[in-house]
Structures are given as C-alpha cells and as structure tokens.
C-alpha cells in the first residue's frame, strides 16, 4: 500500500498556517485511484452527522455525529429547535448548525486524515430557511481560520432564528398565496405541492408581513442545505432542485423560480434568492478556512447540497425509477424516483427534484409510529405481543377495518382525533386486541397505497428504513398490500451516505449504479415476499376508501 507520507501529518493540521497544502488534483496524480474518499454531511433536525466513504475500497472509513441538544446546550434547544414557540412557530438558531459543523469536523479529523477527502456534498433538513443581510456576501468570502464560523457569520443574519419544517404558523399565508395565483390546484401544478405551512415560500411571506423592515434588510435567503454548502465553499451556493421544490416557489416543469409564485409570496424575492441548479452541479471548492483548520487538501470540489429526503433516496439505492422507499418513523414517509413529473391531483403528496436527475415523489403520513404505539398501549401490550398479534389473525383481518388516525392526517387531509373502526362488535368496542393491532397496520398501509397511486409506480422492491422497519410482521403487511418484495438495507445513515455517493458520482466520475451496488446492499436474509393473494387487499382497499 502506498503511504501518504508526503501529506502533512494530520495531528499538525489543526494548527493554522503550519503546513503546505496539496491539491486533490496533485494528490490524485501522485496516488492514482487511492485518493478516493468522499465526505457526506447530514444537517438534520436534532443532529449534524457525517460519514466518509472510501470509494476505491467500498468501505465506510469514518462516521461522526453531533447532537445539538446534548453537545451544544448553550443554544437551549434540547431537540434541536427552540421550545415553546407561539402560534405554531418552530425555529432553530443557524449559529448552532455552524458550531455543530465545527465539532463534527474536529471529530472526523481525529478519526481520519481529512487530506484524503477528494469530494464533498451534503444534505439539510428540508424547508428551513436562513435570512442574511448584505454583509453575507463579503463575510462568506473572507472567513479567517483564527475565529469560528459562528463568530464571523453572526453579524450576517438579518433574522436571528430560522423557521424549520416543524413550523405550522403559516395557514393564512398559504391561503393568500393560493388565492393570488388562482387556487391550490395552480400552486400544486406549478410547484409540485399545494401551499403547505412548513414550506419555505409561506414562511418567507409570514416574515415579510410580520417584519417588513428586516425583510427589506435581507439580501439573501438560503435553505439549510444551501446555507451550509455556501459556508463550505466560502461563497454563495445555489439551491438544488430537490430541496428547492420544498419551497412552493420553484416551477417543476422549468426547474427554476416561478415568477407568479415569487410575486404572490413577497416583494423583490427573486433578488434575494440564489440560483436553482440540478443536483449534479459543483458549487465550488472547499474554502481555505477548512483547509487550514481541519487539514483538508486544496481544491476539493463541493457538490451542491440537497434536502435530507432526496439525499436518502440516493443513499437507499433508489435513485433510479423502479424502487421505492418506505421510512417508518414518528410519521411514515413514502418516496420514490419518478419516471415522469406528475403532481398529486389530491394535493397531499409532493414532487421534488431527484438529485440524480429527473424528479421524485414524497408523501408524509402523520399517523405513523405514534398510531402503532397508541394501539399497542391501549391494550398494555409490549412490542413482542404486538408482533404476535399478526400470527393470531388472518390476512385481511376477516374484514375488520380501521382508519388509524389518532391525530389530524395530511394524507388525506382529515381532521380526526380518534380512529374509525368498522367490523365485529368486539373489534369496534376495542376489546379484541389482536384484531385491532392488525387493523391499525393494515389500515396504515392500505391508506398509503391508495394515497400514493397518483405516482403511477409499479415497484418490484420496496426498501424499508426507519425504526419500525425491523419488525417482520409490519414488513409482511407492506409486502402483501403492495404486492412487492420488501427489503431492508444494511446502510444506516442513508442521508449522509447519499450525500457522499452524490459527491463521488459528480466529482470522482463514479457511476451511481456501481456505487449503489457497493454501498446499498440488502441485509442478508432480509427479503420478505408477499404471502397474500392480490385479491385480499384489493377488496379491503375499496372498503377502506369508502370508510374514509
């Protein structure tokens, strides 16, 4: 194995100005394919994580994560956002994201020689926005390794905090934007989603309405993803089509800003936004700040960042049409690469750009793990008893059906506070635990199938991720209802992995399918095939739809 003795030993790299810097091009020339590390960042709601892959050897060489609440308690955001916001407001401090980035890079530099990294990209929680004054353009271009990022960039914020995706304060603004352009169906046809409270356009409008002077002082509005990308390159980075589509401002046919939506949102908005670019765009090269402070090589290309969900699509190995991902979390999410750009006629789903070209669909189901847990808790069951209930009940549940919405659902939009049950009297009266558990899970995925029909997908394989994906009984219901094989992948951290794979594809000339074959393998013996005859759930779906 070639040694990297010509590189400055990485212990000394933490000292600014103390070493000569080699460019990635010269390192590659001297070491051929060995210099093939790609770094993927994931700035999410509760933490900032990263992983570094060795593209030549097909391995993950370093992983790190900084939990905002635990490691940066001075920001008083135990779960990554400022608690107790009023009127549905949920904000975070963007300086916290910068401090986390520094802690993360320090940890990575302790684990591995960052001068071997020759490609970088990343992802951010979607929809969140950062508001910057005109000092931003100067400061971002002249970062000094003597001070921290947050010290230098604090003065560039024209709004101290950033609204994030959990913010639901913009109901009025959604209606105003929709009315201005001719209704929600127009917003949906243009931007891929109806006007949605957490989306960035309605958030910007609310800021403009509540604080017109600070809006006026705002020279640039970035997404979390493009803000962090800008910091890395020491310049003003574009927004990608994947994250950009989560703003209600990008036209999904042109993949560029939609003038009518911009005008309906706030004055002079075009001048305050960066460019929109496809995911395979190189934003620039890594800023000298990171070279001096963390020991990266010079000239490392940074691929524009995307949203966490589009990045996860890549990291799950599903960036080409034909595979879809179901993520089982607090809420359940369904997403897939799409062969054609179509918007959900019911206005519940979203179309985002696919960072690997084309588009992707995404649909969120609010009643995910919380609903499964609510049924389990109703009978004082543990998770083993919950799983056993499926063995005790037949596929199709003898026609007992549940609309398992314990809280208002967004797919479809219904304001239920408790589930609807239809079937035997024992079931309807909540005395048949096993039937209720099967009905909850069958109801969730019958609903998911019905609500995602607009995507016109015929999946061969469904990739399952998220906490509840480990449960075989739930995975079996999904296989039966979708009539598709279900697989779990060995990858964890699909958002960061997707970012590293995008960097490797864009900057190191690696084929994305080859990267998927290397990094996105299924867990051994994890494939679950459908057991049910297709007719069982076809009839149940009709009955379920009638019940809603």
Q: Which residues bind ligand XUL (CB under 6 A)?
A: 45, 125-127, 165, 198, 246, 307-309, 364
* Cis peptide leading into residue 329 (ω within 30°): no
Q: At 192, list the tokens.
A: 């891929």
CB of 175 to ligand XUL, least distance (A): 20
CB of 228 within 8 A of CB of 43?
A: yes
- Residue number of the CB closest to ligand XUL reads 126
Phi, then psi, of 400 in degrees rounded to 5: -75, 125
| Phi-psi map region of 466: left, alpha, beta (phi>0 left; psi -120 to 50 alpha) | left
Residue 44 CB, nearest approach to ligand XUL (Å): 6
Closest contact distance (angstroms) between CB of 143 and ligand XUL is 27
What the block records as the tokens of 68 is 């905002």
Q: What is the nearest approach in angstroms of ligand XUL to the Cβ of residue 479? A: 24
End-to-end CA distance of the chain: 63
C-beta of 327 vs 471, nearer to ligand XUL: 327
Residue among 307 and 459 whose Cβ is closer to ligand XUL? 307
Whichever of 113 and 240 has its CB closer to ligand XUL, that residue is 240
Within 10 angstroms of residue 486's Cβ, the number of other Cβ atoms is 26
CB closer to ligand XUL, 304 vs 437 = 304
CB of 204 or CB of 389, closer to ligand XUL:
204
* Cα angle: 197, vertex 202, 207; to 5 degrees: 120
* Helical spans, DSSP H, in 80-238: 94-111, 135-139, 149-153, 171-181, 184-191, 200-210, 212-217, 224-233
The 3-state secondary structure of 282-299, one letter per residue = EEEECCHHHHHHHCCCEC
Beta strand pairing call for 117-124 and 37-43: parallel
- Between 8 and 327, name the residue whose CB sits nearer to ligand XUL: 327
Which class for 345: exposed (0-12), middle (13-18), buried (19 or more C-beta within 10 A)?
exposed
Shortest distance in whole angstroms from residue 451 CB to ligand XUL: 15
Query: Least CB distance from residue 329 to ligand XUL, whole Å?
Result: 9
Radius of gyration of the chain (CA): 24
Q: How far is the CB of 309 from ligand XUL (least distance, A)?
A: 5
Tokens representing 297? 């090589």
Is 292 or 350 the residue whose CB approaches ligand XUL more closely? 350
The distance of closest approach from Cβ of residue 352 to ligand XUL in the complex, given in angstroms and rounded to an integer, is 8
Q: Tell me the two tokens of residue 49.
A: 């994580």
Sequential DSSP letters for 247-259: GS-EETTTTEE-H
Please say which residue, 242 or 522, places its beta carbon nearer to ligand XUL: 242
Identity of the residue, 22 or 222, whose beta carbon is nearer to ligand XUL in the bound complex: 222
**Bridge partners for 52 per DSSP:** 39, 62
Q: How far is the CB of 311 from ligand XUL (least distance, A)?
A: 10
Nearest to 302 by CA among 220, 255, 240, 223: 240
């Amino acid at each position: 194995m070639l040694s990297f003795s010509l590189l400055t030993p990485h212990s000394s790299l933490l000292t600014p100005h103390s070493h000569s810097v080699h460019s990635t091009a010269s390192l590659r020339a001297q070491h051929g394919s060995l210099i093939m590390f790609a770094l993927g960042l994931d700035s999410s709601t509760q933490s900032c994580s990263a992983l570094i892959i060795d593209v030549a050897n097909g391995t993950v060489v370093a992983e790190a994560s900084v939990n905002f609440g635990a490691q940066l308690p001075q920001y008083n955001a135990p779960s990554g956002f400022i608690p107790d916001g009023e009127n549905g407001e949920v904000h975070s401090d963007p300086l916290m994201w910068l401090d986390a980035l520094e802690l993360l890079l320090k940890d990575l530099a302790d684990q591995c020689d960052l001068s071997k990294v020759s490609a970088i990209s990343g992802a951010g929680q979607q929809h969140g926005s950062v508001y910057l004054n005109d000092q931003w353009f100067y400061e971002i271009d002249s970062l000094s390794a003597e001070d921290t990022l947050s010290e230098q960039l604090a003065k560039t914020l024209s709004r101290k905090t950033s609204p994030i995706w959990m913010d639901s304060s913009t109901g009025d603004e959604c209606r105003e934007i929709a009315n201005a352009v001719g209704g929600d169906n127009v917003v949906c046809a243009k931007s891929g989603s109806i006007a949605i409270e957490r989306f960035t356009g309605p958030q910007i409008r609310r800021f403009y309405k509540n604080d017109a002077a600070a809006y006026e002082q705002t020279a640039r509005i970035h997404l979390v993803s493009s803000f962090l990308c800008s910091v890395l390159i020491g310049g003003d980075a574009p927004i990608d089509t994947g994250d950009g589509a989560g703003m209600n401002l990008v036209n999904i046919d042109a993949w560029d800003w939609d003038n009518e939506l911009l005008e309906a949102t706030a004055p002079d908005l075009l001048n305050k936004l960066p460019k929109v670019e496809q995911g395979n765009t190189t934003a620039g090269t890594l800023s000298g700040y990171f070279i001096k402070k963390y020991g990266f090589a010079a000239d490392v290309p940074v691929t524009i960042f995307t949203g966490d969900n589009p990045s996860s699509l890549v990291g799950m190995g599903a960036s080409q049409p034909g595979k879809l991902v179901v993520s089982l979390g607090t809420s359940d999410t369904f997403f897939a690469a799409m062969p054609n750009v179509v918007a959900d006629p019911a206005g519940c789903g979203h179309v985002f750009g696919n960072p690997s070209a084309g588009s992707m669909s995404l649909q969120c189901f609010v009643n995910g793990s919380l609903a499964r847990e609510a049924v389990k808790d109703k009978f004082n069951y543990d998770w083993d008893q919950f799983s056993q209930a499926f063995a005790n009940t037949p596929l199709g549940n003898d026609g007992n059906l549940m609309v398992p919405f314990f809280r208002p659902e967004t797919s479809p939009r219904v304001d239920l506070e408790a589930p609807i049950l239809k079937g035997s009297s024992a079931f309807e009266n909540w005395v048949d635990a096993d039937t209720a558990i099967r009905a909850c899970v069958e109801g969730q995925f019958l609903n998911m199938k019905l609500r995602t029909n607009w995507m016109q997908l015929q999946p061969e394989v469904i990739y399952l991720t998220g906490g509840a994906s480990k449960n075989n009984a739930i995975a079996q219901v999904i296989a039966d209802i979708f009539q598709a094989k279900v697989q779990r992948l060995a990858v964890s951290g699909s958002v960061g992995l997707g970012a590293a794979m995008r960097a490797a594809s864009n900057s190191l000339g690696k084929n994305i399918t080859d990267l998927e074959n290397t990094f996105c393998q299924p867990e051994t013996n994890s494939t679950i095939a459908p057991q049910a005859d297709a007719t069982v759930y076809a009839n149940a779906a009709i009955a379920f739809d009638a019940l809603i």
